[in-house]
Amino acid sequence: MSQQTFSPAVEEKYYDIRRARRIKALLGGFLFVVIMGLFYVALLAVEMTVAQYIRYGPQFVGALTEYFPITTVNGIPILDVGQYWEFIVERNLFASAGITLAIGFGGTILGLPLALLFSILGSGRVTPFPFNFIFRGIMSSIRAIPALVWALIYVPLGGVTPFTATMAVATDTIGNLGRLYTDELEEIESGPIEAIETTGAGRVQVIVFGMLSQVTTPFIAWTLYILEINIRIAVALGIIGGGGIGHVLAVQQRLFEYTNMMATILVILMLIISVEMFSQRVRSYIRAEEEPMGFFELLKGFPRRMAESLAK
């Protein structure tokens, strides 16, 4: 059989493709080596070594037996939930959870008006460039500072208390919610705005009936989403002294009362899952295409969402 031949142009294209694949593979390998090197440096920086696991591993395993106390019923070992419930009732953890809820909810409502104002003024449809970036810059600056730091900034107002924790949540809400509002305003249609303007409406009327009327549904959805985040932030603020259920958790941790810690964590879980289920139901109602997330889906994603909130 004769060997099939191709035109010089086809062969050149073939070799170009092979060369591009080799270069891509080399770059991919180089990038992998760099990432692994940075990963190794990061582990060294935080002193994460095998020696740490060997040294503290038995201590952690011992703590697990206190996190999950075991009792026997008819000779069968089961989790002793009675110890959890005893501490929940003794310390009235549901009242502490109510304080955490109040911090998150109060902070969201306090921050909402300024978030709305800055988002409107930060929109290029309302404030001409580059003046709109003044308000965008304010929101970016607020977002750049975590809520935990805002709580410390407000310490002169009376220490780290539920009051200053609420102020921190409110300030954080201005940056986060304002940015989400601004993004929605940038995506609205020009038609309704132009229609309102042709009627001789004033500037405020154009904003209210031509712009905000188009984003009512996403604004409500984003507000509920930020409320979920703020409840988790309120828990974190409690850990540094901001009151509520987080403060109880911090106290029990310092006392090494791991059973009480787990009881507190269960109440935190119940609080946040309840808020998220409420939020999901409302958002699914106003967004017909959105399927409400079930309880187990919410439970499964809880650690990730809590970590994201702590990073804010």
Q: Is residue 48 in a domain?
A: no
* 225 and 176 Cβ atoms separated by less than 8 Å: no
Q: Which CATH number belongs to the domain containing residue 117 in this structure?
A: 1.10.3720.10
pLDDT at 226: 94
Q: What is the pLDDT of residue 56?
A: 82
- Please report whether residue 57 resides in a domain: no
Inter-helix orientation angle 93-121/245-254, to 10°: 120
77 forms beta bridges with 72
Q: Which pLDDT score is estimated for 296?
A: 56
Could you report the average pLDDT of every consecutive run of 10 residues in the chain (312 residues)? 61 79 91 94 87 83 85 83 90 93 95 93 82 89 92 88 94 94 85 78 80 86 93 93 91 91 94 89 72 55 58 54
Instruction: Identify which of 232, 255, 256 has the alpha carbon closest to the alpha carbon of residue 307.
Output: 232
Structure token digits, residue 129: 């460039």
What is the pLDDT at residue 133?
A: 87
At 198 the pLDDT is: 80
49 within domain boundaries? no
The domain containing residue 168 runs over which residues?
Answer: 88-310
Residue 167 lies in a domain: yes
How many angstroms separate the CA atoms of 136 and 254, rounded? 41
Q: Residues 6 or more apart from 227 whose CB is under 8 A from it?
A: 104, 105, 108, 275, 279
Q: Are 238 and 246 in contact (CB under 8 A)?
A: yes
- The answer to whether residue 171 is domain-embedded is yes
Is residue 304 a part of any domain in this protein? Answer: yes
Rounded distance between C-alpha atoms, residue 102 and residue 29, angstroms: 51
Q: Considering the domain boundaries, does residue 67 fall inside one?
A: no
For the chain, first and last CA: distance in Å? 69
Q: How far is CA 33 from the centre of its chain?
A: 31
Give me the helix-helix angle, 302-310 and 216-237, nearest 10°. 80
Predicted confidence at residue 307, as pLDDT, reads 59
Number of structural domains in the chain? 1
Write down the pLDDT at residue 311. 55
Give a yes or no: residue 72 inside a domain: no
Question: Whole-model pTM above 0.95?
Answer: no
Give per-residue pLDDT as tens, 173-229. 999 999 999 988 888 887 877 788 787 777 788 888 888 888 888 899 999 999 999
